[in-house]
Structure 1
Amino acid sequence: METIFNYFETIPTAHRSLILVGGITFFWLLEGAIPLFKFDYKKWKHAVPNLFFTLTTIIINFALAFLLLKTADWVQANNFGIINWLPEMPLLLYVVLGVLFLDFFGAYLAHYTEHKIKPLWMVHLVHHSDHKVDTTTANRHHPIESVIRFAFTLLGVFVVGTPIAIVFIYQSMSLIFTQFTHANIKMSPKVDKFLSYFIVSPDMHKVHHHNMLPYTDSNYGNIFSIWDRIFGTYLELDREKIIYGVDTFPDEVKNSSLKELLKQPFQGYRKPTGVEEV
């Protein structure tokens, strides 16, 4: 564990880029081999706006990275934060708790907040308005949302007290998990269900992308499923019943246009309807 910790403490930017590109490539190929849904679409054309938003997310996170570094260095130097106030523990447990709590602040809490505050929902809508969810959907976030997500992660680093090595471990895991859970891959329902007791599984997250309430407002987690189970936001839905998108924004042509997606947060507020019963 110490070797891994030391590696992530100074992980080269090129290696982090390799995780991103390697993940997209791996799941892209896997989608072709074992697709969950046989989408009738031109995959590269569908990927263009999603990859654009992936690029803007990278740029924003890179530009603001110094804030993460400064905060992580400060909490470590001042022994500040939740995991630093706990009794001394093995390094592995220290890392697991750090990633677990960062997942709460940087993913679950950020995601939950975006669904509950109207202006933030309109920003987050860009992610939900994809009608063909696949691994490229993972980082389909409007630039404004990238800033919002970064702010929550920064809050997490401060409150949890994570050194930069744990921050980079969390970000790497978060990236792979979001590519995995959005990927259009078919997994055994039993295996998927088993995984969902511990981590966010593909079927679990795809319920969140169903176009109607209450499913849209469920399963907010990214890495660990514990947060949805603790806070009562976990729901299940048969994968065959899932319809992607948002029912109040049904125009797939507009929702595939980069120009329209950039304008989407500034349209009138419209929440998905709640016509389906759990």
Structure 2
Amino acid sequence: MQQLIDYFETIPSWVRSLILVGGITFFWVLEYGVPLFNFNYKKVRHAIPNIFFTLTTVVVNFLLAFLLLKSSDWVSEHEFGIIHLFPLPLWASVLIGLLVLDFVGAWLAHWVQHKIKPLWMFHLIHHTDNFVDTTTANRHHPGESVIRFFFTLLGVLVGGLPIGIVLLYQSLSVVFAQLTHANIRLPKKLDTAISWILVSPDMHKVHHHYKLPYTDTNYGNIFSIWDRLLGTFSAMKNEDLIYGIDTYPDVDSNTHVGRLLKLPFNKYRAPDGGKFE
């Protein structure tokens, strides 16, 4: 375990890039073999805006990475945070660290973005993809990337986490996001069994259904336990799923990147076609 954490403390940038690109490539190919839906779309064209937003996510996180490192160094030096409250074996510190980051940096960040209208307008772009596949995983407005980064920072402070645990979580998070968004079909019993502890593909797809209340459920990133404990878990049949967002039916997967970038600064549209002032 110590060797694993030591490795992630100094993980080369090219390895992190390989995890991102390799994951997208793997699930992209897998989608051809075991698709959940046989989308009638041009797969490469659909991927273009999503890849653009993946690149902006990488840039935002790269530019702010020094804050993550400084914060992690500070909590480690001052023994600040949950994992420093009691003497713990390394495996327990790692597990607690992953859970804290998953709750604060992912679940809580996601929940807040659905509940606060200005933040929702940034997150909205992720939900306007009506052909959810593995490239959808990082379809995040740069503004949302900043918001999520500061929740991750909060998770580091709350947990008292060294950079090795942080980078381990982020690497796992990339792979899980690509898996849960991938247009793939797992055996239903296997998917259901996975969803008791981890977020499964079918579980997360429910979150991308175009209507409430399903849009406001299944916020989890890696661990599904938060949704089950906090009453935000839901399930529905795959054949009933419709991707997109009902409040913006005119914004979809192929919307021009420029329009998507400006979308958060438009007034929020109500389901009846009116606008929230």
Q: TM-score range by the shorter chain?
A: over 0.9
2:213 aligned with 1:214, yes or no? Answer: yes
Match of 1:77 in 2: 77
Where do 4+ consecutive residues of structure 1 move more than 6 Å?
none
Q: Distance in 2 between matches of 1:132 and 1:114?
A: 22
Note closer, same or farther for the CA distance 1:272–1:33 as it changes in structure 2 (3 Å cut): farther
Q: Secondary structure at the match of 2:50?
A: helix
TM-score, normalised to structure 2's length? 0.96
1:230 corresponds to? 229
- TM-score, normalising length: structure 1: 0.95
**CA RMSD of the aligned region, Å?**
1.2
Unaligned residue ranges in structure 2 (runs of 5+): 273-277
Where does residue 21 of structure 1 map in the other structure? 21
Question: Does structure 2 conserve the Cα–Cα contact (< 8 Å) formed by 1:255 and 1:261?
Answer: no
For 1:122, give the aligned amino acid.
M
- Verify the 8 A CA contact 2:49 2:254 in the aligned structure 1: no
- Whole-Å separation in 1 of the counterparts to 2:94 and 2:37: 36
Per-residue CA deviations over 1:66-110 (Å, capped at 9, x if unaligned) read 00000000000000001111x222211210110111000111000
* Matched-pair contact (CA < 8 Å) for 1:208–1:220: yes
What amino acid does structure 1 have at the position aligned with 2:30? Answer: L
User: Shift in Å at residue 271 of structure 1?
Assistant: 5.2
- Over residues 239-264 of structure 1, what are the superposed CA-to-partner deviations in whole Å (9 max), with x where a residue is unaligned? 11010000111125585321221111
SS in 2 for 1:130: coil
1:261 and 2:263 correspond: no
When structure 1 is superposed on structure 2, of 255-264 and 36-45 the one drifting more is 255-264
Give 1:37's aligned residue: 37
Residues 270 and 172 of structure 1, relative CA distance in 2, 3 Å threshold: same
Are 1:130 and 2:129 matched, yes or no?
yes
Task: Give the CA deviation at 1:270.
Answer: 2.7
1:276 aligns to what?
Answer: none
Matches within 5 A, 1:1-278: 1-85=1-85, 87-252=86-251, 256-270=255-269
Give the match's secondary structure for 1:64. Answer: helix
Shift in Å, 1:200: 0.4
Q: How many residues align?
A: 272
SS in 1 for 2:99: helix
Structure 1: tracts of 5 or more residues without a match: 274-278
Could you tell me how far apart the structure 2 residues matched to 1:271 and 1:215 are? 17
Give deviations 1:99-137, integer Å, cap 9, x for gaps.
111000111000000000001111100000000000000
Identity of aligned residues (%): 62
Aligned counterparts of 2:249 and 2:51: Cα–Cα separation in 1: 22
Mark the CA change 1:252 to 1:40 in structure 2 (over 3 Å): closer, same or farther: farther
